Chain A
């Protein structure tokens, strides 16, 4: 096991990239500590699979280095990097039994037979497949096959990291939950470094200690699920994380106040902004519907009941704005304004978060 460092990494599928837009991965430097659970989160085509393939050695980066511990593995092939990978579609060796599947990576590495038998039994217990060890892998359900793929990685003692490439895509919804819980438990118990690629924020946020959010080939933020939620560094993170995502409103900020849709919104601290497109962002649960004259004009369009709370969907001016209300909180008759919690308003210039003056000083 080892710390994984991506040092000034960038990748282009063009042989001679001309400008930044030719890069599938923009230059990035990241360090992943040994034994951490990380998620790479982003929409399709944001470069997260490319990044994963660079780590596993299936793709050689155009620039920069990949380090496992202090060892530079940039030019090493997959086979000697000592990583394990679980793919989007379950990969099992059809003609083998579950036992043979689990033993395969060890057999190829010349591990003695009694050692193999012992470790296979151990892994079967971990993934809960002791009962089916002598069944053919063909014909098992998708989730069982994914467990075998995972088991083939866990059976080895030399793995630096286990990589997951959207492993739950083909799994039934009720099994997804179970597998994710099991994965989390395995991580806690055995402490492998795990890197989990997904476009599903629930998966990412429940699985990982630290989530790396990617957009258009760029790492826009890396942090704990809580920090992504509370302090998104980029409007993409704000919008992408949370359901519904962060509300973003065009604004003019002057000192400690913002003007939005003709109304004045107080901010928690004064800002001094560079010129650019200014937006304020606020989470749907940090806004309150009000019947008075305070706040931003809001037009309620529809109410969705989602169990413990309700989503109030509407518009501020012509911009979409959603509120989250606890169940049972009444919706005041004729409510036409929303007030925003100043402490939870973020200010963004050209999509990037700006810190207020006091904290910056």
Chain B
């Protein structure tokens, strides 16, 4: 029997297509459009080919921002992933305390980015902030406004405070799905605590861990609001990450062409690194 073929069903996709085009494709294409043109004002544009891309790729300023960004994401992942796993392993499994932990852990995730930034901006101030003042009182020379290291430390601690819960909650969900029999079998096999973690908990968590790593990487690589509120990218350019630099370029200097090229490269870098993470982590799981 022949299957009936009726391509008119595609019309049902049309509303989504229109919506996505309106909200994503057309704006993106505008950016692509800007990235290959130059203007001297008056709304007159000239074709510039890959000129802006070359400029961005050769720009020391962008290189520096990219370097800072990579370092930031690497530090964030290196702290939040192990810490999240550690917290998840030590959370109570059931009962009142488990619920309480879950609620407390979820709290930072509910706070808007700019509020988190403001909280830490005030918290770290030497004159009126609890943290800054306390550190000064016990004789530690801390000032995130002047000192690049202090600025980095503040932003990293802030991000860990804000997002480790996410990793912990994901890992916790992964751990909860492990049947008791695995732990019992491990006890019978006399596996050490490390053995239980290495051969039962970690493999069973690997799925959610992949999601956690991807989410945290993408989020930290695109971080904007919190450092913008706390340090504004300073002192100097010490905490000027890619997105802050991009906004400076696009809106501060109104260099639309380079900014558009920058955006596209930025987008491709995120895509590339996410793909690498995904491929490496899934390949490890699927070796026969």
Contact = CB atoms under 8 A, between A and B. Distances in A.
Interface in A116-149: 135-136, 139, 149
A283 interface: no
Contacts of B253: none
Given A95-B199, A95-B203, A89 B181 contact: yes
Interface stretch (B1-9, B60-68, B188-196, B275-283): B188-196
Given A93-B199, A136-B288, A79 B190 contact: yes
Nearest to B204: A94
B33 to A, nearest CB: 49
Interface in B191-241: 191-192, 195, 199-200, 203-204
B181 A87 contact: yes
Given A108-B192, A109-B190, A58 B199 contact: no
Interface of B: 179, 181-182, 184-185, 187-192, 195, 199-200, 203-204, 287-288
B217 to A, nearest CB: 23
Given A58-B184, A95-B199, A108 B287 contact: no
A152 B189 contact: yes
Given A95-B203, A96-B199, A139-B288, A105 B182 contact: no
B37 to A, nearest CB: 53
Given A136-B287, A139-B288, A94 B189 contact: no
Contacts of A94: 203-204
A153 B184 CA distance: 13
A58 B182 CA distance: 13
Interface in A80-98: 83-85, 87-89, 91, 93-96
A236 interface: no
Contacts of A105: 188-190
A49 B191 CA distance: 23
Given A79-B190, A93-B200, A135 B288 contact: yes
Contacts of A88: 181
A13 to B, nearest CB: 15
11 contacts: A83-B188, A85-B188, A87-B185, A89-B181, A93-B203, A96-B199, A104-B191, A104-B199, A108-B191, A108-B192, A153-B188
A39 B287 CA distance: 39
A91 B181 contact: yes
A215 interface: no
Nearest to A95: B203
A56 B287 CA distance: 35
A108 B203 contact: no
Contacts of A78: 184, 187-188
A152 B185 CA distance: 10
B187 A91 contact: no
Contacts of A255: none
Interface string A45-78: 0000000000010100000000000000000011
Contacts of A96: 199
A191 to B, nearest CB: 20
Contacts of B200: 93
A84 B188 contact: yes
A58 B185 CA distance: 11
Between B199, B204, B287, B288, the greatest number of chain A beta carbons within 10 A of the residue's beta carbon is seen for B199
A123 B203 CA distance: 25
A149 B182 CA distance: 11
A135 B187 CA distance: 24
Contacts of A135: 288
Nearest to A153: B188
A77 B187 contact: yes
Contacts of B188: 56, 78-79, 83-85, 105, 153
Most B CB contacts (10 A, CB to CB) among A56, A58, A88, A152 go to A58
A108 B189 contact: yes
A136 B254 CA distance: 57
A87 B190 contact: no
Nearest to A90: B181
Interface in A150-182: 152-153
